[in-house]
């Protein structure tokens, strides 16, 4: 059985196509159930985010399964093969595992190290598991990817540091205030960056969130999105006095916050700082307002410098993260190879056990005179002898370096011990023995 991944991402397809192939729009549960019904897949899972749409399946025939997945993708999303096939990528076995491990670690993200992707991978697995479309291989693969993602985050600094202007603003606010819970925030203007920063601050448990804009309708629209209250433009100055954090994003040609206005908001009696994030171009706040005691003023260039520095730091951690992924891929690959030996290992153990029991039955007349404790000891000793005889060949078979060698060794063992020939086993053991030549996993 093979592990196959077919998908698209921000690296291979434009956003317009990714939007058309978004599995989440119709529900991951619907998508994974439909995928699991395809004949070429015995296990199935779907990972779908704004930057990727990926199908993971377990199959016997990789090429047939790939064609089936392409057909499914086109049918499910009502797109033509010509529109998508040049944007698809395919990964098989070890390469498929490496890809998912890198995705879960944030190494394949648009913003390297972003933390949300691990949760999205977990959600994808959770849906597939709930719908019972995953089996032993995908269960192992996804749980292993969770561990890899956690290792990368705990053993490297790949996910540390803000790498967007809005995150950088929140990080600075936390450095200044520590806990942001209960802090009063004022958003001046209704720009996109102001909205994003307000949303991130909202996630920190802030208290009051006030929105003001020269255009009342714009303020009302932003307030409805971020969950804030609208303040009339004429109340800007008094609201400034009551604020801890101010975000300005008006797009005005001249500053809307002068040094005098900021100075009035920070009288000598004020003990708490005033943090102003000016992300407008041209700037909304007079530069010398940052010289006032207790005022911390940052503009868009300051924030972008922080973002650039953090991205550089993350880049330095990529190599460490890739080494962790490489090590885990090696372990997973060994586990996957060992699965190919399972039918032979099981059949070999069943053959030896059948022979052992047949011999004990043959010697039953001679053992009948022994007390129960002694007979139990004989049974235990013979079982331990069989276990020890099989231990080394079993372990060696499970750790063979590649699939071809596993197949060759398994074939040799099947021939040497006639594992598929029950009649030979019966002759050797001098008793009828029924030994299956495969396990449920191999079927």
**Maximum mean pLDDT: which of 147-151, 250-254, 342-346:** 147-151
Q: Mutual orientation of helices 136-155 and 94-105 as an angle, nearest 10°? A: 40
Supply the mean pLDDT for the chain: 86
Looking at residue 365, what is its pLDDT?
A: 87
Q: What is the pLDDT of residues 361-393, one digit of tens each?
A: 898 888 888 898 888 898 899 889 888 887 877
What CATH code is assigned to 165-293?
Answer: 3.40.50.720
Q: What is the pLDDT of residues 266-317, one digit of tens each?
A: 998 899 999 999 988 889 999 999 999 999 999 989 888 888 887 888 888 8
Looking at residue 72, what is its pLDDT?
A: 96
Cα–Cα distance between 387 and 353 in angstroms, integer?
9
What 3 state SS string does the chain have?
CEEEEEEEECCCCCHHHHHHCCHHHHCHHHHHHHHHCCCCCCEEEEEEECCEEEEEEEECCHHHHHHHHHHHHHHHHCCCHHHHHHHCEEEECHHHHHHHHHHHHCCCCCCCCCCHHHHHHHHHHHHHHHCCCCCHHHHHHHHHHHHHHHHHHHHCCCCCCCCCHHHHHHHHHHHHHCCCCCCCEEEECCCHHHHHHHHHHHCCCCCCEEEECCCHHHHHHHHHHHCCEECCHHHHHHHHHCCCEEEECCCCCCCCECHHHHHHHCCCCCCCCEEEEECCCCCCECHHHHHCCCEEEEEHHHHHHHHHHHHHHHHHHHHHHHHHHHHHHHHHHHHHHHHHHHHHHHHHHHHHHHHHHHHHHHCHHHHCCCCHHHHHHHHHHHHHHHHHHHHHHHHHHHCCCCHHHHHHHHHHHHHHCCCCCHHHHHHHHCCCCCCCCCCHHHC
What pTM, to 2 d.p., does this model score? 0.62
Instruction: Using pLDDT thresholds of 50, 70 and 90, give the confidence band for residue 436.
Output: very low
Enumerate the CATH 3.30.460.30 domain ranges in the chain, comma separated: 2-155
- Check whether 439 has a pLDDT greater than 70: no
Instruction: Using pLDDT thresholds of 50, 70 and 90, give the confidence band for residue 47.
Output: very high
Domain 2-155: CATH architecture, name and number where available: 2-Layer Sandwich (3.30)
307 compared with 239, residue with greater pLDDT:
239
50 is catalytic: yes
Looking at residue 348, what is its pLDDT?
A: 76
Q: What percent of the chain has pLDDT over 90?
A: 52
Catalytic residue among 17, 33, 34, 50: 50
Enumerate the CATH 3.40.50.720 domain ranges in the chain, comma separated: 165-293
Cα–Cα distance between 370 and 209 in angstroms, integer?
87
Lowest mean pLDDT among 130-139, 201-210, 350-359: 350-359
* Mean of pLDDT values over 151-172: 83
- Check whether 402 has a pLDDT greater than 70: no
Cα–Cα distance between 199 and 119 in angstroms, integer?
20
- Check whether 340 has a pLDDT greater than 50: yes
* Mean of pLDDT values over 235-262: 93
* Mean of pLDDT values over 198-214: 91
Nearest to 350 by CA among 427, 418, 443: 418
């Amino acid at each position: 059985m093979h592990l196959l991944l077919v998908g698209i991402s921000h690296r291979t397809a434009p956003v317009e196509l990714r939007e058309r192939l978004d599995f989440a729009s119709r529900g991951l549960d619907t998508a994974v159930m439909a995928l699991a019904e395809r004949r070429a897949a015995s296990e199935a899972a779907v990972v779908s985010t704004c930057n990727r749409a990926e199908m993971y399946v377990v199959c016997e025939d990789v090429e047939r399964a790939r064609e089936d997945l392409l057909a499914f993708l086109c049918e499910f999303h009502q797109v033509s093969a010509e529109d998508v096939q040049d944007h698809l990528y395919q990964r098989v076995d070890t390469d498929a595992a490496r890809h998912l491990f890198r995705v879960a670690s944030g190494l394949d993200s648009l913003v390297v190290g972003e933390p949300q992707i691990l949760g999205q991978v977990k959600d994808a697995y959770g849906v597939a598991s709930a719908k019972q479309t995953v089996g032993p291989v995908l269960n192992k693969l996804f749980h292993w990817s969770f561990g890899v993602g956690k290792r990368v985050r705990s053993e490297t600094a790949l996910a540390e540091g803000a790498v967007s202007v809005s995150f950088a603003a929140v990080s600075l606010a936390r450095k200044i205030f520590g806990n942001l819970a209960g802090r009063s925030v004022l958003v001046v203007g209704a720009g996109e960056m102001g909205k994003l920063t307000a949303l991130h601050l909202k996630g920190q448990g802030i208290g009051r969130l006030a929105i003001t804009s020269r255009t009342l309708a714009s303020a009302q629209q932003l307030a409805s999105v971020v969950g804030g209250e609208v303040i009339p433009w004429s109340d800007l100055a008094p609201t400034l006095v009551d604020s801890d954090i101010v975000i300005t994003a008006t797009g005005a040609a001249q500053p809307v916050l002068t040094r005098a206005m900021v100075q009035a908001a920070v009288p000598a009696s004020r003990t708490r700082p005033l943090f102003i994030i000016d992300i407008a171009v041209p700037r909304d706040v007079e530069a010398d307002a940052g010289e006032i005691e207790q005022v911390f003023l940052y503009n868009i260039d300051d924030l972008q410098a922080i973002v650039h520095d953090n991205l550089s730091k993350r880049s330095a951690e990529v190599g460490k993260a890739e080494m962790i992924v490489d090590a885990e891929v090696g372990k997973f690959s060994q586990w996957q190879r060992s699965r190919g030996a399972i039918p032979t290992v099981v059949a070999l153990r069943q053959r030896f056990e059948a022979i052992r029991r047949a011999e004990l039955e043959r010697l039953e007349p001679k053992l009948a005179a022994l007390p129960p404790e002694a007979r139990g000891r004989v049974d235990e000793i013979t079982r331990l002898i069989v276990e020890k005889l099989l231990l080394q060949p079993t372990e060696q078979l499970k750790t063979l370096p590649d699939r071809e060698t596993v197949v060759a060794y398994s074939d040799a063992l099947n021939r040497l011990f006639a594992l598929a020939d029950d009649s030979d086993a019966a002759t050797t053991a001098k008793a009828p023995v029924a030994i299956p030549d495969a396990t449920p996993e191999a079927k």
